[in-house]
C-alpha cells in the first residue's frame, strides 16, 4: 500500500468551488482499480490550500491504472479550472506504525 499526497491551491475567490469540485471528483477516483480510500482536507489558516491523501495498492495502480486510464480526464474536469497552480504530488510508503 502507498499513499499519494497532493497539495492544491485555489484561484482567488474559488476555494469553495474547488472544494465542491474535489468532492464530486472523489466519486470518480473511487472507481479506479487499485484505489483503497482517500481523505481530502482544506486549510484552516490558509483556506485556499487543500491537501489530498489517497491510498493505492501500489504506485502502478495510480500512475498507470488511473492517470493513464479513462477516469483521469473525468476526475480533473471537476476541479482543474479552479486551480491557481499545478498540483504538487508525491508518493509515500509506510515504514512504521499500522
Q: What CATH number should be reported for the domain holding residue 9?
A: 3.30.70.100
- In this structure, how many other beta carbons lie within 10 angstroms of the beta carbon of residue 38? 17
41 CB burial (10 A radius; 0-12, 13-18, 19+): exposed
pLDDT confidence band for 40 (50 / 70 / 90): very high
Is pLDDT of 97 > 90? no
Q: pLDDT tens across 8-24, in order?
A: 999 999 999 999 999 99
- DSSP secondary structure letter of residue 68: T
Q: Note down the domain range covering 76.
A: 2-82
Q: pLDDT tens across 44-82, in order?
A: 999 999 999 999 999 999 999 999 999 999 999 999 999
Where are the alpha helices (H) located in the chain, listed in sequence order?
15-29, 59-60, 71-77
Is pLDDT of 98 > 90? no
> Is 89 in contact with 5 (CB distance < 8 Å)?
yes
- Indicate the number of domains in the chain: 1
Amino acid at each position: 500500500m502507498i499513499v499519494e499526497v497532493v497539495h492544491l491551491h485555489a484561484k482567488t475567490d474559488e476555494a469553495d468551488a474547488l472544494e465542491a469540485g474535489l468532492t464530486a471528483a472523489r466519486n470518480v477516483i473511487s472507481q479506479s482499480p487499485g484505489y483503497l480510500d482517500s481523505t481530502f482536507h482544506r486549510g484552516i489558516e490558509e483556506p485556499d490550500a487543500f491537501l489530498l491523501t489517497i491510498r493505492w495498492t501500489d504506485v502502478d495502480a495510480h500512475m498507470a491504472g488511473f492517470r493513464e486510464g479513462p477516469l483521469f480526464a473525468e476526475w480533473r474536469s471537476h476541479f482543474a479550472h479552479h486551480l491557481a497552480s499545478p498540483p504538487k504530488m508525491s508518493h509515500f510508503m509506510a515504514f512504521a506504525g499500522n
